[in-house]
Structure 1
Amino acid sequence: MIQLYPYPKQKSLPTMYDLPSEDPEEPGLPDEFHDYQPDLLTQTCQSPHYSEEDYFIASDLNLYYDSQHTLWYKRPDWFVVLGAKRSHNQQELRLSYVIWQEQISPFLVIELASPGTEDEDLGRTERKEKKPPTKWEVYEKILQVPYYVIYDRYQNQLRVFVLNSGRYERLELSEEKVWLEPLGLGLGLWQGVYEGVEGRWLRFYDRDGAWIPTPSERAEQERQRAEQAESECDRQQQRADQAELELQKLREKLQQLNVDPDSLS
C-alpha cells in the first residue's frame, strides 16, 4: 500500500535541503547495536518485486511529516519506502525525508526498543499540550504506515503491527516471522553472528524461507563454492591419473606375457 499526499505546491514550504537530518543541539549518537542492526536490514532488504532503483531505505534519518509544522519530525531507526527513487548523485543524496516533497509514505517502519523508548514506541505515551504528536500517532494516523515493527533485543521480543481500517492491530507471530507480500520478503529473527557479534538479529528472508545473504556472506558462499569446485577438479584429476597408472600397469603385464596391448580390441 502506497500512501500519496496531495499537498499543494507552496513556495514557502522547505525542501530537504532546508531540513537537515541532524539537530546540532540534540545530544547523543546511536549505540553499536543501532549501527549494526539497521545495516543488516539494509543489506538483506532485496525485494524481488522492485528494482533497487525503485525503493528507498534509510536509518536514523529525520522524517518530516507535516507541511503545516515544518520543523516537526520523527527519526525512525529504519524504514523503507516503496516507489521512492534512489539518488545516485552524491550531491543529491537526501539530507532528510520530507513527506510533502516525496509524496510517498514509508511502507515499513522499524523501531529498536530500549527501556527508555519502549513506552513511546508502543504508543503508551500521551501527546503533551502544544507539542508534536507522538511517534505512534504519526505512524498510525498521519503517515498511515502499513507495517510497524518493534524489536526489543533485551527481551528478544518481536512485535508487528499492521494497519487495519486506520488502526494498528498486533499480529500473532508463531515463529517470530512475518511475510510482507508487497515487498516479496519476510522479516524475522535470526540467531547468528553478524560483524563478529553473536545474537538474535532482525533480517529478511525469501519466499522459500531462506535468509537473504549479506554481500560478505555471498562472497564467502562464492569462495566456498570455488574451493569445492577446485577440490572436485583435483579429485577428478587424481582419478584420471590413477586410471592412467592402472592402464600402464596392465600394458606392462601384457607385454611380459608377449601380448601386444595394441592388438587387443
Structure 2
Amino acid sequence: MVQQLSPSTIEDELLYPDSDGKPLADNTTQLRLIFTIKGGLDALFKDRDDVFVAADLLWYPVKLTQQEVIEQEEPQRQAPDVMVVLGRPKGDRGSYMQWKEDNTAPQVAFEILSPGNKKKDMETKFTFYQQHGIEEYYLYNPKKNRLQGWLRKGKNLKEITQMEGWKSPLLGVKFTTGEGDLVLFHPNGERFVDFVEVVEQRDRERVEKERERLEKERERVEKERERVEKERERLEKERQQQRAILAEDERDRQQSRADRAESDLQKMRERLLQLGIDPDSLS
C-alpha cells in the first residue's frame, strides 16, 4: 500500500530537507570523535526519556513565512556534529524542526574541526548558535589538539578561558586534552569510549570473570582435596585404632588361654598327688 503524504508533509520535505548533501565527517579522526561523544552522551542519558541526542542532524530553528516561501528564501539551518536537547523526547527524526519540538532549542553543540571547515563557515556556525539559543558550544581542533568552549551569558556566547578540566554545567561531563586527544568523562569519572573500546572492555571483563570463576573453582577443588585428605587421615587413624584394639583383644585371648592351660595343669598335678603319684616323676 502506497503511503499518502499530506500537503503539509510534502511541503516540509521540499522546504526542510533532511540532508544538506555534506558528509558526516571528512576523516576518521573526526568520525571517531563524533561517534564517541554521541555514544557517550547516549549512555549518560539512557535512563532519561526527555533528552534527545543527535549527530549531524539538520536543525531548523525557524519556520519560513509564507512570504519567504514565495521569495524562495533558504531556511536557516545547521547540522552540529553532535547536539543535545534537554526537555525533548528520544526518537528518530529526519531533521530537528524547532517549531514542532515545543519550540525547544538545542542547548549544547559540539563541533570537530576538519580540513574542510573554512573560517567563514565556522564563524557562520558560531553566529547561528549564538542567535538561536545554544547555551554551551564546544569546538575541538584535532590537528592542534585544541579545545575551545563558549558559555551563554545573556544573549551572547562568552569564551571559557580555561578548558582543561572544564565541567559542563548542563551535562556534568568533564573535558581534557592532556592525553593528546579530546577525552570526555562521565560525572562518575568514567571516560567516554568508542565502540571498539567498549567491546575490548567487555572482553576484558569477560576474561576477568572467567579468571575469577576458575580461581574460585581451583579454591573449591583445593578445599575438597583438603577435606578428602583429612577424611583419609581420619579413616587411617580409625583403622590404626581398630588394629590396636584387635591386637589387644588377641593378646587378652592368648593370655586367657595360657591362664586356663596353667590352671588345668595345676589341677592335674594336684589330682596326681592325691593319687600318690609324683608329677615330677612323670617328666
TM-score of the aligned structures, taking structure 2 as reference length: 0.65
Partners of 2:112 and 2:76 in 1: how far apart?
21
| 1:74 alignment partner AA | Q
Classify the secondary structure of the residue corresponding to 2:83: strand
Residue 55 of structure 1 deviates from its aligned partner by: 1.4
Conserved 8 A contact 1:59-1:77: yes
Match of 2:187 in 1: 207
Residue 135 of structure 1 deviates from its aligned partner by: 1.1
Conserved 8 A contact 2:30-2:113: no
**Distance change (3 Å), C-alpha of 1:153 and 1:121:** farther
Classify the secondary structure of the residue corresponding to 1:86: coil
Deviations 1:128-160 (A, max 9, x none): xxxxxx21111012x121110011111111111
**Does residue 140 in structure 1 map to residue 130 in structure 2?**
yes
- The unaligned stretches of length 5 or more in structure 2 are 1-7, 65-72, 244-283
**Distance change (3 Å), C-alpha of 1:186 and 1:136:** same
Conserved 8 A contact 2:86-2:107: yes
Number of positions where the alignment pairs a residue of Structure 1 with one of Structure 2: 224
Partners of 1:209 and 1:30 in 2: how far apart?
30
Classify the secondary structure of the residue corresponding to 1:151: strand
Classify the secondary structure of the residue corresponding to 1:179: coil
Percent sequence identity over aligned pairs:
21
Choose 1 or 2 for highest CA Rg: 2
More RCO (CA 8 Å, sep 6+)? 1
**Distance change (3 Å), C-alpha of 1:151 and 1:212:** closer
**Distance change (3 Å), C-alpha of 1:208 and 1:53:** closer
> Which residue of the other structure, out of 46, 52, 57, is the alignment partner of 1:56?
52
Match of 1:239 in 2: 222
Conserved 8 A contact 1:16-1:97: no
| 1:61 alignment partner AA | L
Partners of 1:71 and 1:34 in 2: how far apart?
27
Match of 2:96 in 1: 97
CA RMSD, Structure 1 to Structure 2 (Å):
3.4
Residue 114 of structure 1 deviates from its aligned partner by: 2.8
Conserved 8 A contact 1:16-1:96: no
Partners of 1:135 and 1:14 in 2: how far apart?
26
**Does residue 74 in structure 1 map to residue 78 in structure 2?**
yes
**Does residue 45 in structure 1 map to residue 41 in structure 2?**
yes
**Does residue 248 in structure 1 map to residue 228 in structure 2?**
no
**Does residue 117 in structure 1 map to residue 114 in structure 2?**
no
Partners of 2:56 and 2:230 in 1: how far apart?
69
Partners of 2:118 and 2:105 in 1: how far apart?
23
**Structure having the larger proportion of residues in strand:** 1
